[in-house]
Chain A
Amino acid sequence: GQQVMQIPQYQHVQEGEDFTTYCNSSTTLSNIQWYKQRPGGHPVFLIQLVKSGEVKKQKRLTFQFGEAKKNSSLHITATQTTDVGTYFCAGRTDSWGKLQFGAGTQVVVTP
């Protein structure tokens, strides 16, 4: 079955640094979504990528969908303490397919 893997599982970042988290699927995806969950909170939808090679930006966050539509990345520049949380990717393989969530990357930011 479909597997969505995220690496790293844990990321410790100093404030002001950049970092990237990666999402890899065992099968080709029709689209991929990213969510952020603050500590003690619930997942919040950030963005969706659909096209091969697509790149989207939200302020300091850059999302990319791989050419083969089997991987994705989230890059955060100049990390701030507000970036603390767990970032999940979630992929769907077909029109009626359920979203398959990765295990998440937990981000801790030190001032």
Chain B
Amino acid sequence: NAGVTQTPKFQVLKTGQSMTLQCAQDMNHEYMSWYRQDPGMGLRLIHYSVGAGITDQGEVPNGYNVSRSTTEDFPLRLLSAAPSQTSVYFCASSYTRMRGDYGYTFGSGTRLTVV
């Protein structure tokens, strides 16, 4: 099993550009989520999904879109990149609470710089 795979690992964007961060998991996890990590601020939830076709906003959703067409994939789209979106982005997945409590499995992260 590969676990949670994120691509790309590094990305530099110009202000106003759009891009998609990819996340795929092969563990048949229902729950998938996107976090951003900034120094001193921990992990902040951007968007999450409890299953294919179901998504919802986290605490910092502005400027980001998601979709969940399959169980395996949960891409994050930056609509018009801004310097404030410079961050490290982590995708995480887990079984849902209905199956019992499990820890999140995180991807290795995407380091994004917006200039």
Across the interface, do B103 and A45 meet the contact criterion of CB distance under 8 Å? yes
Chain B interface size band reads 20 to 34
Most buried by B among A44, A47, A90, A99: A99
Say yes or no: is A95 at the interface (Cβ < 8 Å to chain B): yes
* 20 A-B residue pairings within 8 Å (CB atoms): A31-B101, A33-B104, A35-B104, A41-B108, A42-B107, A42-B109, A43-B92, A43-B104, A44-B106, A45-B104, A47-B103, A48-B102, A88-B42, A90-B104, A95-B97, A98-B58, A101-B35, A102-B42, A103-B42, A104-B42
Across the interface, do B108 and A42 meet the contact criterion of CB distance under 8 Å? yes
Q: Which residues of A contact B106 (CB under 8 A)?
A: 42-44
Query: Which chain B residues have a beta carbon within 8 Å of chain A's beta carbons?
Result: 33, 35, 40-45, 48, 50, 58, 90, 92, 97, 101-109
Complex: chain B residue closest to A96, CB-CB: B97
Kindly state the separation between the CA atoms of A41 and B111 in the bound complex, as whole angstroms.
Answer: 11
Kindly state the separation between the CA atoms of A96 and B42 in the bound complex, as whole angstroms.
Answer: 21
Q: Which residues of B contact A47 (CB under 8 A)?
A: 103
* Chain A nearest CB, measured from B110 CB (Å): 11
Complex: chain B residue closest to A42, CB-CB: B106
Q: Which residues of A contact B33 (CB under 8 A)?
A: 98
Across the interface, do A33 and B103 meet the contact criterion of CB distance under 8 Å? yes
Most buried by A among B40, B43, B44, B102: B43
* Chain A nearest CB, measured from B104 CB (Å): 6
* Chain B nearest CB, measured from A48 CB (Å): 6
Across the interface, do A50 and B101 meet the contact criterion of CB distance under 8 Å? yes
Q: Which residues of A contact B103 (CB under 8 A)?
A: 33, 35, 45-48
Across the interface, do A101 and B40 meet the contact criterion of CB distance under 8 Å? no
Within 8 A of B (CB), among A67-111: 88, 90, 92, 95-96, 98-99, 101-104
Complex: chain B residue closest to A86, CB-CB: B42
Q: Which residues of A contact B90 (CB under 8 A)?
A: 42-43
Q: Which residues of A contact B35 (CB under 8 A)?
A: 101
Kindly state the separation between the CA atoms of A44 and B106 in the bound complex, as whole angstroms.
Answer: 7
Q: Which residues of B contact A46 (CB under 8 A)?
A: 103
